[in-house]
Amino acid sequence: MRGRRTSGAVRPDDIRQHNLSLVLRHVHRDGALTRAELTQRLHLSRSTVGALVGDLAQLGLVEEVVPSGGERVGRPSHVVAPHAHGPYAVGIDVDIEHVTVAAIGLGGTIIAREVLPTSPEVTPTDLVALVAGALTGLRTTVGAASRVCGIGASVPGTVDLSTGRVGVAPNLGWEDVPLGEMLEDVADGVPVVVGNDADLAVLAEHQRGNARDCDDVVFLMGRIGVGAGIIVNGVPVRGRDGHAGEIGHNVLDPTGPPCHCGKRGCIETFLGENALLGLAGRPSRRTDTEVADLFNDARAGQREALRAMGAAAESLGRCIADLLNILNPERVLVGGTMAELLDLARAEVEAAVERYAFERSHPGVELLLPAFGADSALLGSGEIAFTALLADPR
Ligand SMILES: [Zn+2]
The string of pLDDT tens digits covering residues 151-162 is 999 999 999 988
Q: Same structural domain for residues 111 and 73?
A: no
State residue 76's pLDDT score: 65
CA of 171 from ligand 1 middle (Å) equals: 12
Q: Give pLDDT, residue 145.
A: 82
Whether 4 is in a domain gets the answer no
Beta bridge partners of 232: 235
Q: Is residue 208 in some structural domain?
A: no
Rg (CA), the chain: 22
Q: Which DSSP symbol is given to 33?
A: B
Task: Give distance in angstroms: CA of 275 to centre of ligand 1.
Answer: 12
* Residues 217 and 366 occupy one common structural domain: yes
Distance CA 268, CA 256 (A): 11
Distance from residue 263's CA to the centre of ligand 1 (Å): 5
Asked whether residue 255 is assigned to any structural domain, the reply reads: yes
CB half-sphere exposure, 51, CA atoms < 13 A: 7
CA of 167 from ligand 1 middle (Å) equals 15
1 pLDDT above the threshold of 50: no
Q: Do 62 and 83 touch, CB atoms closer than 8 A?
A: yes
CA nearest neighbour of 131 among 164, 87, 92: 92
260 C-alpha vs ligand 1 centroid, how far in Å?
6
CA 262 to ligand 1 centroid distance, Å: 6
Rounded distance between C-alpha atoms, residue 17 and residue 393, angstroms: 7
Instruction: Indicate whether 124 and 50 sit together in one domain.
Output: no
State which residues form the domain around 174: 88-201+376-391
Q: Report the C-alpha gap between 230 and 330 in whole angstroms.
A: 12
In a 3-state reduction of DSSP, which class is residue 122?
coil
Question: What is the pLDDT at residue 119?
Answer: 86
The contacts of residue 171 (CB under 8 Å, 6+ apart) are 96, 120, 156, 223, 224, 225, 260
The CATH number given to whatever domain includes residue 40 is: 1.10.10.10
pLDDT tens track for 17-72: 999 999 999 999 999 999 999 999 999 999 999 999 999 999 999 999 987 765 55
271: pLDDT strictly greater than 50: yes
Q: How far is the CA of 210 from the centre of ligand 1 (A)?
A: 29
Q: For the domain that residue 102 is a member of, what is the CATH number?
A: 3.30.420.40
CA of 69 to the centre of ligand 1 (A): 52
Among 82, 105, 134, give the residue marking a domain's end.
Answer: 82
Do 219 and 350 have their domain in common? yes
Q: How many Å lie between the centroid of ligand 1 and the Cα of residue 244?
A: 14
pLDDT at position 285 over 50: yes
Residue 324 within any structural domain of the chain: yes
- Examine the pLDDT at 180 and tell me if it is beyond 80: yes
CA 298 – CA 280 distance, rounded (Å):
10
Residue 99 domain-assigned (yes or no): yes
The domain boundary residue, chosen from 38, 58, 82: 82
Distance 265 CA to ligand 1 centre (A): 7
In a domain? residue 2: no
Q: How many domains is the chain built from? A: 3
Claim to verify: residue 191 and residue 229 sit in the same structural domain:
no
348 Cα to the center of ligand 1, angstroms: 24
- Give the pLDDT mean for 274-289: 89
- Number of Cβ atoms within 10 Å of the Cβ of 102: 23
CB-CB contact of 92 with 154 (8 Å): yes
Q: Are residues 354 and 380 in the same domain?
A: no
Give 373 Cα–ligand 1 centroid separation in angstroms: 26
Rounded to an integer, what distance in angstroms lies between the CA atom of residue 133 and that of residue 124?
14
Residue 164: is its pLDDT beyond 80?
yes
Give start and end residues of each alpha helix (H) in the chain.
12-30, 35-42, 46-58, 124-142, 179-184, 197-208, 268-271, 273-279, 288-299, 303-327, 337-344, 346-356, 376-391
DSSP class of residue 239 equals -
Q: Is 306 exposed, middle or buried (0-12, 13-18, 19+ CB in 10 A)?
A: middle
Ligand 1 centre to CA of 198 (Å) is 17
The pLDDT confidence band at residue 75, using thresholds 50, 70 and 90, is low
Same domain, 78 and 122: no
Mean pLDDT (the chain) is: 92
- Ranges assigned E (strand) in 163-294: 165-169, 174-177, 192-196, 217-222, 226-232, 235-237
